[in-house]
Amino acid sequence: MKTFYIETFGCQMNAHDSEKVVGTLLQKGYTQVQQPGDAELVLYNTCSIRDKAEQKVFNRLQQFKRDAGKGKIFGVIGCVAQQEGDRIFERAPHVSLVAGSASYTRLPEMLVQLEAGNRRVTGLSLDVNETFDTPFTRRDNPHRAYITIIEGCDKACAYCVVPFTRGPERSRTGESVMREARSLAELGYTEIQLLGQNVNSYRDPSPAGWDFARLIANTGTIAGIRRVRFTTSHPRDFVKEIIDAIDENPVLCNHVHLPVQSGSSSVLARMQRQYSRDQYMRRIEWMKNAKREIAITTDIIVGFPGETEADFRETVRLAEEVEYDSMFIFKYSKRPNTPALQYQDQVPEEEKTARLMHLQERQRAIQMRRNGRYVGHCEEVHVEGFNMATGQWIGRTAQNKTLNFHDPELPAPREAATRVGRYLNVLVTRAGPNSLAGERHTA
């Protein structure tokens, strides 16, 4: 019996890659185990986006060696694998496989090499024009399914490793996305989440030539699919037709994650984001004018090289103006291969921390205010689980807000399995900055 263990870091694309890798391994006769010590093959799917990621990977690899013991096969996959390449064999000689996501279609072949005793197996070419599509995906969630529609990134943001770790942009055909979505609906999935580093840069390579707005509109018509989400949208390629599609079909969730990174046009230019503050705000305006209220969320980088106090104030002002429903704030961190690594005027660490904390505090007040508006309103949630500690069900609204609720008819989790995945109406009775709370509404 061949056994494997896998540990995954990073974004949703990476999480979904692992689901596809797991499916591929199961199909090849492997069995998944929950402890590295029980596995013959230990895989580590890595992320390189921030914070000395490579060092953390090497530390974890050492720990794996200690915990898992001798005689195992270790593989590093994902973004740090692509970034560090052969150097991983030098720094961690117990590793036998190093492969980036652009090589996963070759996984079966790489497994054969490992099984044959090859201790230096690599998949590091970025010269690809195919995507990793497999019918064997083993999804973790039985109700909500990820579907990657576009891989790689053709932008060149000055701070970002992704173009180096995931290679050039390549889209799947619209038909193959539709086929996968339909088969998920047949399996009982009701929610799909379309994924891409720049999901809205999608362009169907087949003669049909669907753009992203057309693709989401089409997935929204599949019988059985009640919610379609997508992430992450890039502002530059965010066109009005996307909002029109959301307006036309309530199956397309009224939530858009649109990372702005900075509110200062001069910082945006140095980041090579390919849009100005005004262009970004025009897209926000489209969303604010949509028929249904659209929840808007974002990512911000504070302390990008050369960011002045005045630049930062523009970011704070933009956040106040947009009133985001949620925001991920990151301190700029230097990454290998990226242009910003060479930029002179780095912002001191204490200053980055101060800006992060200041923005977090302002954003918390905004979220408190925004979430407060839901009190007294009824929201439909997709039930995700039961929290034993609080005795509450966990639900998610179409706007991607967590709504925890009591159900007087079903106070105990006895029937959790039958309840999770259902859609229920919940009356919101309380609001916090990060979630809502309420009672099941049965009337």
Site for ligand F3S, rule CB under 6 A: 10-11, 13-14, 47-49, 78-79, 161-162, 165-166
Cα distance between residue 332 and residue 313, in whole Å:
16
Other beta carbons within 10 Å of 423: 14
Q: Answer yes or no whether residue 82 interacts with ligand SAH by CB under 6 A.
A: no
Of residues 30 and 164, the one with the C-beta less far from ligand F3S: 164
Exactly one of 25, 43, 47, 49 binds ligand SAH (CB under 6 A); which one? 49
Biggest CA-to-CA distance, the chain: 65
Of residues 49 and 185, the one with the C-beta less far from ligand SAH: 49
Please tell me whether residue 217 adopts helix, strand or coil conformation.
helix
Q: Answer yes or no whether residue 283 interacts with ligand SAH by CB under 6 A.
A: no
Cα distance between residue 347 and residue 308, in whole Å:
9
Exactly one of 162, 258, 424, 428 binds ligand SF4 (CB under 6 A); which one? 162
Q: Answer yes or no whether residue 234 interacts with ligand SAH by CB under 6 A.
A: yes
CB of 259 to ligand F3S, least distance (A): 12
Q: Which stretch binds ligand SAH (CB under 6 A): 174-182, 284-292, 306-314, 331-339?
A: 331-339
Q: Answer yes or no whether residue 171 interacts with ligand SF4 by CB under 6 A.
A: no
DSSP 193-216: EEE-TTGGG-B--STT--BHHHHH
Alpha carbon separation from 395 to 142, 318, 373 (Å, rounded): 15, 30, 18
| Interface size with ligand SAH, residues (CB under 6 A) | 16
Q: Answer yes or no whether residue 157 interacts with ligand SF4 by CB under 6 A.
A: yes
Beta bridge partners of 151: 170
Exactly one of 21, 77, 160, 322 binds ligand SAH (CB under 6 A); which one? 160
> 431 is in the binding site of which of ligand SAH, ligand F3S, ligand SF4, none (Cβ under 5 to 8 A by kind)?
none
Of residues 197 and 231, the one with the C-beta less far from ligand SF4: 197
Q: Answer yes or no whether residue 47 interacts with ligand SF4 by CB under 6 A.
A: no
Half-sphere exposure of 201 (CA within 13 A, CB side): 18
Extract the runs of DSSP E, i.e. beta strands, from 24-139. Answer: 30-32, 41-46, 73-78, 95-99, 121-123
Please tell me whether residue 352 adopts helix, strand or coil conformation.
helix
Cα distance between residue 373 and residue 363, in whole Å:
16
CB of 162 to ligand SF4, least distance (A): 4
Q: Answer yes or no whether residue 234 interacts with ligand SF4 by CB under 6 A.
A: yes
Of residues 20 and 166, the one with the C-beta less far from ligand F3S: 166
CB of 245 to ligand SF4, least distance (A): 22
Cα distance between residue 162 and residue 164, in whole Å:
5
CB of 160 to ligand SF4, least distance (A): 3
> 299 is in the binding site of which of ligand F3S, ligand SF4, ligand SAH, none (Cβ under 5 to 8 A by kind)?
ligand SAH
Q: Which stretch binds ligand SAH (CB under 6 A): 282-290, 309-317, 330-338, 425-433?
A: 330-338
Nearest in space to 262 (alpha carbons), one of 359, 337, 351, 345: 359
Q: What is the DSSP letter of 383?
A: E
Cα distance between residue 70 and residue 62, in whole Å:
12
Extract the runs of DSSP E, i.e. beta strands, from 170-308. Answer: 170-171, 191-195, 227-231, 255-257, 295-302
Of residues 153 and 225, the one with the C-beta less far from ligand SF4: 153
Q: Answer yes or no whether residue 155 interacts with ligand SF4 by CB under 6 A.
A: yes
Strand-pair category, 378-387 with 392-397: antiparallel
Residues that bind ligand SAH (CB under 6 A): 49-50, 159-160, 197-198, 232, 234, 259, 261, 299, 301, 330, 332-333, 335
Residues that bind ligand SF4 (CB under 6 A): 153, 155, 157, 160, 162-163, 197-198, 234
